[in-house]
Amino acid sequence: MILDGSEASAIERAAAALAAGELVAMPTETVYGLAARADDDGAVARIFAAKGRPADHPLIVHVATPDAADRFAAEMPPLARRLAQAFWPGPLTLIVKRREGLAAAAAGGQDTVGLRCPSHPVAQALLTAAARLGVPGVAAPSANRFGRISPTRAAHVADEFGDTLLVLDGGACEVGIESSIVDCSRGHPVLLRPGILPVERLEAVAGEPLRAPDALAPRASGTLEAHYAPRARLRLMDGPRLKAALEVLGNSPPRLALYSRTVVPGRASGIVHRTMPSSPEAAAHELFAALRDLDAQGVPLIWVEAPPAGSEWDGVRDRLTRAAAA
Ligand code: TXA
Ligand code: MG
């Protein structure tokens, strides 16, 4: 059931459901999340069951204010404090050592916890209302079934989970791809997942380069190769290769969708075409909805033009690369 998240009565109802240990889908500025109170292992277990996600994959805990993060953290190292100060509320998740005895299920058994303070007004209103009912934070993975495309509209969530789930409608998510994740628990910052925040901006605040995850990095579903997959097979090619591939197809192309910035199919080709926006922010904003739309056309193949070089495209490139690996 989809409720208008701008209505106070909907927020109260969703907050009460969270307090009672039930699931609620909430909009955030990145993607929609499937939320349960983080301090209740039974409630968190419902998330894993609904998503079909392995229980050892840690979830992000969302809090209403930066201060509320201290409830879950054993300590916030100076690096995490600086990043939180600069980017919260916003599309950044920080991994820190977890306070013992709290949110064990949400953390997937790790001794760390992922924390994020989202900026979406509906998420803010929900987290604040839930906090008044004694909910210190909510665990929320993206509200999609395991391995599938993250939802950026209330209708996407309803498509995945059906009518019984309470979904707060907060419109189309502004960022459109999941938060950047920086692990602050190892003495040096590690970028576990790129998002919309350019790495240079994160490094300027961190005061040192962000490292890439090594073999010791915790298992993260967003870092599994095959993730964010549409049903169609997705191929990622740079402009010249894509052009050449289309030329080879000639006048009798297979059923195919094309999502590209610079390459345009011949008008008579019958190829389903959608133009990728030329700015990384606009491309991220519509990426998952575009892949869902193209997928819904029932084509067996989606050919995508690779984003240009440049760190501002890292988040979009990362999601497309994983979708192509599925
Ligand atoms: O933008 C987002 O982050 C969205 C919205 C709903 O906030 N959430 C999201 O959650 O993308 P999910 O579960 O789909 O991805 C969470 C990622 C996973 O890759 C998970 O492994 C990683 O965060 N993660 C969470 N806690 C962690 C921890 N303690 N250590 C390492 N990675 C962690
Ligand atoms: Mg996800």
How many beta carbons lie within 10 A of that of residue 54, not counting itself? 11
Ligand 1 centroid–CA 60 distance in Å is 5
Instruction: Compute CA 216 distance to the chain's CA centroid, rounded to the nearest angstrom.
Output: 23
For residues 66 and 75, what is the distance between their CA atoms, to the nearest angstrom? 13
Cα 306 from Cα 239, distance rounded (Å) = 7
* 181, 216, 219, 224, best to mutate for ligand 1 pocket (most atoms within 8 Å of CB): 181
User: How open is the CA angle 53-57-60, to the nearest 5 degrees?
Assistant: 105
Structure confidence by residue, pLDDT tens digits, 61-114: 999 999 999 999 999 999 999 999 999 999 999 999 999 888 899 999 899 999
Specify the residue with its C-alpha closest to ligand 1, atom 21.
220
Q: How far is the CA of 79 from the centre of ligand 1 (A)?
A: 19
**CA proximity to 40, closest of 123, 131, 102:** 102
Ligand 1 neighbour 140 (Cβ under 6 A): yes
Q: Is the CB of 27 under 6 A from ligand 1?
A: no
pTM: 0.95
Separation of 220 CA from ligand 1 center, angstroms?
Answer: 7
Q: Does domain 233-325 have CATH number 3.40.50.11030?
A: yes
Q: Which ligand is nearest to the CA of 58?
A: 1
Residue 256 CA to ligand 1 center (angstroms) comes to 33
From the CA of 150, how far away is ligand 2's center (Å)?
Answer: 6
Q: Please give the mean pLDDT across all residues of the chain.
A: 93
* Of 48, 111, 145, 178, best ligand 1 pocket probe by most atoms within 8 Å of the beta carbon: 178
pLDDT of residue 224: 55
Tens of pLDDT along the chain (326 residues) come to 999 999 999 999 999 999 999 999 999 999 999 999 999 999 999 999 999 988 889 999 999 999 999 999 999 999 999 999 999 999 999 999 999 888 899 999 899 999 999 999 999 999 999 999 999 999 999 999 988 899 999 999 999 999 899 999 999 999 999 999 999 999 999 999 999 999 999 999 999 999 999 866 655 545 555 567 788 999 999 999 999 999 888 777 788 999 999 999 887 778 999 999 999 999 999 999 999 999 999 999 999 999 999 999 999 999 999 999 98
Tell me if 138 CB under 6 Å of ligand 1: no
Q: Is 322 in the pocket of ligand 1 (CB under 6 A)?
A: no
- 2-206 folds as DHBP synthase (3.90.870)
3-state secondary structure of 116: strand
pLDDT of 267 reads 76
Which listed ligand is nearest to 144 at the C-alpha?
A: 2
272-275 β-sheet, strand order: 233-237, 301-305, 257-260, 272-275
Q: What is the pLDDT of residue 223?
A: 53
In order of 104, 127, 139, 169, 316, the CA distances from 3 in angstroms are 30, 16, 20, 6, 30
For the chain, the first-to-last Cα distance in angstroms comes to 31
Query: What's the confidence (pLDDT) of residue 222?
Result: 52
Taking the CA of residue 112 as reference, the ligand 1 atom at the shortest distance is 29
Instruction: Kindly state if the Cβ of 10 falls inside 6 Å of ligand 1.
Output: no
pLDDT of 266 reads 81
Residue nearest to atom 13 of ligand 1 (CA): 141
Question: How high is the pLDDT of residue 230?
Answer: 84
Write down the pLDDT at residue 226: 56
List the domain boundaries for the chain: 2-206, 233-325
